Structure 1
Amino acid sequence: MERWRRAAYLLCRDWHLADDLVGTVVGKLYAHWRTVAAADNPDAYAQRVLTTSWIDERRRPWRREQPAEVLPEHGWTPPDRAGDRDQLDTLLGHLGRRQRAVIVLRFYFDRSVEETAELLGISPGTVKSQSKRALELLRTLSYTTESRK
């Protein structure tokens, strides 16, 4: 691989483009592995794919990312989620201990019904019913909170 990378650099004279080119070549070789394996000289075959891929990229400059003359003034900033956390904390406070544990294990820790039941020492049916009741309560409380705004 390093040999291909150096060869790609010698062709395009940019290490980043060379890495992209090698990635493209590896994908092409993988997709046609039977042909590569059946070739008399697989290394020469790979070198040919590398060279033709580079030539193909040079013919189609619109496929590559082009730098912009002027960068945008503002980048994306994540919205303030502190209010969401406070609201979630308030909503979870309305749940009983078991319901809260079920909701946190199922939806925050992404545990299955069976895993949640095992961790809490309850039946899977209890996990399902507690989840259903807790989600209904959370939806109702969330709806009433939103309608007050």
Structure 2
Amino acid sequence: MTALTAWPGQAQDWLDERGKPAWIAAMVLGFIFFWPVGLALLFYMIWSKRMFTGSCRHSRHHGHHRHGRSYGMPSSGNSAFDAYKADTLKRLEEEQEAFSAFLQRLREAKDKQEFDAFMDDRARAARDGAGPDTPSADPAA
């Protein structure tokens, strides 16, 4: 993720650490300097329920954390559904890690195959009397 795409999340985290007063101050400053920014912040605060909660920080602790970030999904109020959601997210994370490991093994196998082909070509060239720096006579190489 580039710095250009990461700043909104960093700004949100920074404001969340300081609580609702920081969000309100950002919204007021947005209205003062450029009213569409203030309006956008107001809509975001209403949509994300930051206006109606006692603290912005509590919602970050209900979600599951991965690399210090929450999924942004607060408790639904139904413990059975929340348990199901947590299990499903955990299973998906495990599947993603397994798939990443599989892709890594594929890359390593391809690298080994290419290296073995290089060594075979080099050995064939040495057997045929060509030097290691001389290209092989094989047109496919």
Bucket of the pairwise TM-score, normalised by the shorter protein:
under 0.3
Q: Under a length normalisation based on structure 2, what TM-score does the superposition of the two structures give?
A: 0.27
Structure number with the bigger relative contact order (C-alpha 8 A, sep ≥ 6) is 1
Judging by fraction of residues, say which structure has more helix. 1
